[in-house]
């Protein structure tokens, strides 16, 4: 490389350090954590407020990178503690983001605006509450930060942000400073709903003690207990139940917390709900829409949902608590049909042991063999489905029954397709000396 080229490149590099907004050498030194360069630049009286094109200052970068000593030096050198970039970010909001309580306290002591907020209304207090640094939150509150300020995007508060991140110490502190525990976001979520969703039992206790509603219902019909159960949060659910949450309340689909726990196969939650008075025989709501095989199944019990989703342990817990295996769903489908639809033979065997109604028909004339080939491909494998078919066949199931739409199990399996099921059913029918009513089109 020629001497002239090197000289030109050196000039270009130097020029890059002087943007339209000013000298960026101090920012670059902070970014690479070059303390000696920072000291030399400050000694040379470089402009400590020279910002990037987006408005980010040396102080903002030092705060963001947790460089406590550099923050002190910049402030002593006259850095603007309330400088704002184009997103509304200030050194204080950045300190709250990183959760550095010491820097937050330093900035506030130097005159940082405790009410600082981003463009969307997210306040320094909200940001600190989400980060979870108690000292930062305390310092902001002592400087007059508005505890119940609401951001503009989802109408959430600092208390909601703390609860959503399981920061129970921060939740306690905000409650002490009169945070509104009943405030709700645009989606209807209170801080209690967030705490239940994330499984923060301690915050659940604190929020209810401060006036939160253990039976809050979202606009969509989900209760706070169901929120905890749907997210598998046993301790939060237990806390809610101890505070009087109604265990048998259903959502708009009629699903109770027990339906949800059974469907998920969460045995610990199933047992906890049953111990708390959950009714194992409550059906969910009637379903509408669809046709034939594609009709949603309504009026299912928790036991049916556990069977349909291959949760034998949950089934056993429900039966031990009095679940009736002979109850049928809205379309007349049985527990055995629900189990067959899981595509897993062990749960089918248990369902048969409970209620061996092998020749039952739905209101559309579907059989247990129809159930074994429809709906199981998403939760099982072809070899496992064939085990189910063989077990049902050995128990005398109708191999070739025709439903109200004129479809046999082979016809259904052919459409899906489940080739191994088609082959097995055909073989079993031939073994009876018969021909399939609707032979495979393969």
Q: How far apart are CA 404 and CA 355, in angstroms?
A: 24
What pLDDT is recorded for position 131?
Answer: 98
Residue 13 in this model has a pLDDT that exceeds 80: no
Q: What percent of the chain has pLDDT over 90?
A: 89
Is there a contact between 59 and 75 (Cβ–Cβ < 8 Å)?
A: yes
pLDDT tens digits, one per residue of 370-395: 999 986 667 799 999 999 999 999 99
Q: How far apart are CA 5 and CA 398, in angstroms?
A: 88
Q: How far apart are CA 321 and CA 38, in angstroms?
A: 71
Residue 31 corresponds to which tokens in the numbers above? 């970014």
The CA-atom distances, in angstroms, between 35 and each of 32, 43, 51, 321 are 9, 12, 19, 68
Q: What percent of the chain has pLDDT over 70?
A: 93
Apex 58 CA angle, 138 and 125, nearest 5? 20
Residue 3 in this model has a pLDDT that exceeds 50: no
What pLDDT is recorded for position 442?
Answer: 78
The CA-atom distances, in angstroms, between 410 and each of 50, 180, 360, 413 are 76, 61, 18, 5
- Whole-prediction pTM value? 0.89
What pLDDT is recorded for position 190?
Answer: 99
Is there a contact between 104 and 135 (Cβ–Cβ < 8 Å)?
A: yes
Residue 6 in this model has a pLDDT that exceeds 70: no
Domains of the chain (ranges, CATH numbers): 252-442 (1.25.40.20)
Overall average pLDDT of the 263-278 stretch: 99
């Amino acid at each position: 490389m020629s001497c002239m080229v090197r000289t030109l490149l050196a000039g270009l590099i130097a020029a890059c350090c002087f943007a339209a907004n000013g000298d960026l050498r101090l920012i670059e030194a902070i970014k690479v954590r070059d303390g000696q360069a920072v000291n030399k630049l400050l000694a040379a009286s470089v402009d400590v407020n020279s910002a990037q094109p987006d408005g980010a200052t040396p102080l903002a970068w030092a705060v963001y990178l947790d460089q406590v000593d550099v923050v002190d030096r910049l402030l002593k050198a006259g850095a603007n503690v309330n400088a704002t970039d184009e997103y509304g970010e200030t050194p204080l909001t950045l300190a709250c983001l990183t959760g550095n309580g010491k820097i937050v306290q330093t900035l506030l002591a130097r005159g940082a605006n405790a009410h600082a907020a981003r463009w969307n209304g997210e306040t320094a207090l909200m940001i600190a509450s989400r980060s979870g640094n108690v000292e930062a939150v305390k310092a902001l509150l002592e400087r007059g930060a508005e505890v119940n300020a609401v951001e503009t995007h989802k109408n959430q508060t600092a208390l909601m942000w703390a609860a959503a991140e399981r920061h129970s110490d921060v939740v306690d502190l905000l409650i002490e400073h009169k945070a509104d525990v009943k405030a709700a976001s645009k989606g209807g979520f209170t801080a209690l709903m967030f705490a239940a969703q994330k499984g923060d039992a301690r915050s659940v206790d604190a929020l209810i003690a401060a006036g939160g509603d253990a039976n809050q219902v979202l606009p969509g019909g989900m209760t706070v207990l169901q929120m905890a159960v749907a997210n598998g949060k046993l301790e939060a659910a237990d806390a809610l139940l101890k505070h009087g949450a109604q265990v048998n309340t259903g959502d708009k689909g009629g699903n109770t917390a027990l339906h949800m726990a059974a469907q998920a196969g969460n045995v610990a939650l199933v047992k906890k709900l049953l111990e708390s008075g959950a009714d194992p025989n409550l059906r969910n709501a009637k379903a509408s829409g669809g046709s034939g095989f594609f009709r949603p199944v309504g009026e299912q019990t928790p036991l049916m949902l556990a069977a349909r989703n291959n949760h034998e342990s949950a089934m056993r817990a429900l039966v031990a608590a009095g679940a009736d295996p002979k109850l049928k769903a809205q379309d007349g489908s049985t527990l055995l049909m629900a189990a067959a639809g899981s595509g897993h033979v062990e749960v089918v065997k248990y369902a048969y042991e409970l209620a061996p109604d092998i020749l039952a028909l739905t209101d559309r004339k579907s059989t247990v063999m129809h159930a074994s080939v429809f709906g199981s491909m998403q939760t099982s494998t072809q070899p496992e489905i064939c085990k189910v078919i063989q077990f049902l066949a050995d128990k005398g199931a109708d191999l070739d029954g025709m439903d109200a739409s004129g479809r046999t199990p082979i016809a259904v399996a052919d459409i899906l397709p489940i080739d191994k099921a088609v082959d097995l059913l055909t073989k079993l029918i031939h073994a009876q000396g018969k021909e399939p009513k609707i032979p495979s089109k393969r």
